[in-house]
Structure 1
Amino acid sequence: MSDMTSTADAPRSPGRPRSTRADEAIIEATLDLLAEGSTIEALSIEAIAARAGVGKATIYRRWSGKDTLLMDALRRLKGILPQPAGHSVRDDLILLVGAIGRNVDPRAEKIMPCLVPEVNRSPDHYRLYQNIIAPRRQLMREVLARGVAEGVLRPDLDVEVTMALLTGPMLIQRVLQWNPELNEHTLPEQVVDTVLAGIQAR
């Protein structure tokens, strides 16, 4: 008998890198199903596996369950966190406000509005949403805190209320198209300048 062992029979080494192609297929399948109208509650690992062309075990090797998979899929939908340059509070706020509700993936227009009622109905889905949005909120919090520390913004600034003032107009415009007369491209700068007029140090 030959001492040679065929490649097919050879044991796999521990720590073998997982397939990036499978990861991508699973994430894409999740987003496709949500864009086609599946609710978070109705979305199943079985349906995702079938759409991605993988077995359920492949998904469970990568994610502990549906919620962790959804978190990664929705983070993908939101895109990469913007990175403030740290030179100008105004410029950094315009960058962060401009990223609110903006998604490069066209499926976001179908998915995000449908998630709002589910987030309001389910404590679990609300926690999922908070886990996704918290890092973005923290970035804005840090910029505002830096503005206070540098003396650019009022020392008595309520940072949490200010974040709501900066965020609300962009969300309502981009998610609901509340006012067709507003220019989406110039709105971030207009919102920031309007709020800054009230929170700048005197």
Structure 2
Amino acid sequence: MQIARKLFRTCARLADVSKNDEGEEEEVPKATRMTLCLLAQRIGQLIDQIQDLERRLAMLAERHAPQLLTVVGIGPDTAVTLLITMGDNPERLHSEATFAALCGVSPIERSSGRRQYRRLNRGGWQANAALHRIVQTRLRFDPRTQNYYERRTKEGKTRREIVRCLKRYAARQVFHLVRPTQPCPPS
């Protein structure tokens, strides 16, 4: 990333170099310099906009569900995606199974005739992708998840089956962190 930033800065300065020697340079190299300069400046503007949006997402996630940001593998973008999936009224989700189905990580029984297995529900593309990012981050950095992966691999599970289980676990964890606890019914 540092090399790319240095390259963008160099390209952005190409316009200054071409201003000094207006008539001496051929048209094609001059046009190339100007194009590189304009593209580099636009990339710089986009990077600034991305950083501003990421900062705003982090503030929103911190304001609405700071408990999510303490969990391994959940960053501001993932937290916001899961909060959007849950919607304005998380009370409508009666159980973690309904949230898992909404995210597309509820298991569906499948059979090939000889073998019975489960596959994931096909719904909830964005929430499913967010849970996938959580699982991939945990597989890389979380020792508990790595131990779970090793144990399940020794039991003969495939990577796909293990990731399915981990996604379901992550959905369960998010559901319990975000959904408000049920008030006791009046007696």
* Larger Cα-atom Rg: 2
Relative contact order (alpha carbons < 8 A, sep ≥ 6): 1 or 2 greater?
A: 1
Q: Which has the higher helix share?
A: 2
TM-score (norm 2): 0.31
Q: Which has the higher strand share?
A: 2
TM-score (norm 1): 0.30
